[in-house]
Structure 1
């Protein structure tokens, strides 16, 4: 099987010749530039600066030589603009706090204070307030809320569309032409499966509610305030989601015209509905405020294309799985089996035909960064045996590979997945 055939079989819940492997196809299945740099070095690949393609999490670009060596099966069709609102072009040198040499897009603008904290500006505009911060020794940026909301306002006095008009927009003709050109390049010149990283459908995503790419965010922007507004100002939330969904549907049509059936999967949302021990909200709230809009998006995809929908949600989401299936979610990432109630055997038995599980292959909180290579291998084998039965499983870690992972553990993981000897 080619990599693309392997992915398609998996998405159709057929048994492939081996479990397909993803590294770097999405912003939730990637690798921190520091770990990527050390992995390349350990494998004897050329040492050079790593391109950071997702600056919020400092995710590195996984290049063709590493894709081929590891046996990766899936790549991403990324947008030209990143998490902080500037383009990934005109690369310039930067150095991470641990000394990792990287390339950042030319629009990356940051300042470091006397304590070692580094602040980044939205769209590279230093006239705006900084939108994210990384502490000294840190390996990813945290969003910084900048809007100040007046809780004394009545709901009828709120202006949700005005508040979020700079967060969502119909894509440009130039972006659509880029999608078309890049999708043709990936489809015709490689045999990888392709995930279209369209984005824009992550309703209420805690990573984007503060507006990391917005110069002057307004309205309800703190994550705790946003969650309280589900009960206090539900019509405000609905109005934002209606606006966001309408833009998403327009962009999906543009995307369909640009990439056609050259992609197999489209990334819709990265909103987390669970934390380590429970859901982030009640099922009643999810069904009222979120599910109708997600179903509308998924129905459009399934009616108009052959793509599968990709959703990322961390945490303890067992109670949400029936609703996820009902609303048309196809690929569920990352399957955080370290969260409460997320039992691999139970989930596979009950939902193995409903979802393609994309991730869950190894615990990135404990085993991968702190275990031995043999402990990594053991857990990888166990997860593959459970989740890979009868197809429907794309191997990836539980969320991105963070910065402190030993290269030996990464090599053990990839050798176990593909059966290759890497060194």
Structure 2
């Protein structure tokens, strides 16, 4: 199937194209991605409409992330678009079969689908045609939270090899076909996941008034990430080109927390994760997603080892592409 974006230099593979760009050399064309990670993905409704617009057969999409309503793009579509990368998504409770329970809101009487995930988090989606699930109940959202509450929480096992079952075979096939291979972090970022566990308001108050308690939570999430990478990268590191992480710190105009708070409480945790990943897979490029205005944090991202920033949120304050190019190359 002919690509919409053919290379002016036939024979250049997607992997070569991406690695050339990441080496700060001009490739034959801009490398393209669609769906290798959640943050480069497409909603199932948009995906079905895109298939229709391209004249591709109507099929039932496979879920990439049922909570966000994202589809796994099929090979016929991403080949048609000339996508250069292929993604690998470790098993987690957002991409295995979501078991939905029908509930009725006690106050409004509205109907919802409810889903309880492996972290103990409850998500809800309006029935019958909600587009995605929203976080409804954080498991440790309670007054007088203690460090023992955090340590005794029923944390999921991230070091279980079943989370990456079959991924090496996929990666080898993608590499043989000339695609760059992206391996995704198994769960949301340290700051974002902490919000889901204790609730956003609680977390922000905790960071401001009891940094030691917030640190217990951040440390536990960091340990889970390190456990995953210690398990996964000895098995997959040699066939992976990019490792993706995500943690949102930006709003449209500023940051959710101050740069000082980020540097004191969260940056050291990410530094530990990036150091471990760099040790286990030194050749793999390090991708980091953080929405909104993260301009004051970009030097910190670079310092911990980020090589790819997603997105360049051009309508957010401070994220003008020309200025970013001037300052960071």
Shorter-chain TM range is: 0.7 to 0.9
The answer (yes or no) to whether the contact 2:89–2:186 under 8 Å persists in 1 is no
The answer (yes or no) to whether the contact 1:23–1:29 under 8 Å persists in 2 is yes
2:80 paired residue among 69, 74, 81 = 69
What is the aligned partner in structure 2 of residue 132 from structure 1?
123
Alpha carbons of 1:252 and 1:148: their partners in 2 closer, same or farther (altered >3 Å)? closer
Instruction: Give the Cα separation in 2 of the matches to 1:142 and 1:173.
Output: 29
Please list the CA deviations of residues 355-383 of structure 1 after superposition, one character each: whole Å capped at 9, or x if unmatched. Answer: xxxxxxxxxxxxxxxxxxxxxxxxxxxxx
- 1:48 Cα shift? 1.5
- 1:119 Cα shift? 2.2
1:209 pairs with 2:200: no
Moved more, 69-78 or 177-186: 177-186
Alpha carbons of 1:304 and 1:52: their partners in 2 closer, same or farther (altered >3 Å)? closer
- 1:150 Cα shift? 4.7
Alpha carbons of 1:78 and 1:152: their partners in 2 closer, same or farther (altered >3 Å)? closer
1:162 paired residue among 147, 151, 154 = 151
Paired residues, number = 312
What is the aligned partner in structure 2 of residue 287 from structure 1?
263
1:175 pairs with 2:163: yes
- State the TM-score, normalizing by the size of structure 2: 0.87
Please list the CA deviations of residues 1-23 of structure 1 after superposition, one character each: whole Å capped at 9, or x if unmatched. Answer: 10011111112111110000110
What is the aligned partner in structure 2 of residue 249 from structure 1?
226
1:275 pairs with 2:251: yes
Please list the CA deviations of residues 328-367 of structure 1 after superposition, one character each: whole Å capped at 9, or x if unmatched. Answer: 1111111211112211100111112xxxxxxxxxxxxxxx
Alpha carbons of 1:19 and 1:244: their partners in 2 closer, same or farther (altered >3 Å)? same
Helix, strand or coil at the partner of 1:196: strand
1:282-361 alignment runs, 5 A limit: 282-305=258-281, 306-352=283-329
Instruction: Give the Cα separation in 1 of the matches to 2:27 and 2:195.
Output: 39
Instruction: Give the Cα separation in 2 of the matches to 1:149 and 1:246.
Output: 21
What is the aligned partner in structure 1 of residue 208 from structure 2?
231
The answer (yes or no) to whether the contact 2:158–2:224 under 8 Å persists in 1 is yes
The answer (yes or no) to whether the contact 1:279–1:316 under 8 Å persists in 2 is yes
Gaps of 5+ in 2: 1-11
Please list the CA deviations of residues 243-281 of structure 1 after superposition, one character each: whole Å capped at 9, or x if unmatched. Answer: 22233223212222111321111112x211111111111
- 1:192 Cα shift? 1.4
Helix, strand or coil at the partner of 1:274: coil
Instruction: Give the Cα separation in 2 of the matches to 1:228 and 1:307.
Output: 36
Q: CA RMSD in A?
A: 2.3
- State the TM-score, normalizing by the size of structure 1: 0.68
The answer (yes or no) to whether the contact 2:92–2:187 under 8 Å persists in 1 is no
Instruction: Give the Cα separation in 1 of the matches to 2:309 and 2:45.
Output: 27
1:47-86 alignment runs, 5 A limit: 47-83=58-94
- 1:327 Cα shift? 1.4
Alpha carbons of 1:178 and 1:262: their partners in 2 closer, same or farther (altered >3 Å)? same
The answer (yes or no) to whether the contact 1:271–1:312 under 8 Å persists in 2 is yes
Instruction: Give the Cα separation in 2 of the matches to 1:349 and 1:210.
Output: 36
Higher relative contact order (CA 8 A, sep 6+): 1
The answer (yes or no) to whether the contact 1:52–1:60 under 8 Å persists in 2 is yes
Alpha carbons of 1:198 and 1:283: their partners in 2 closer, same or farther (altered >3 Å)? closer
- 1:58 Cα shift? 0.3
Helix, strand or coil at the partner of 1:260: helix
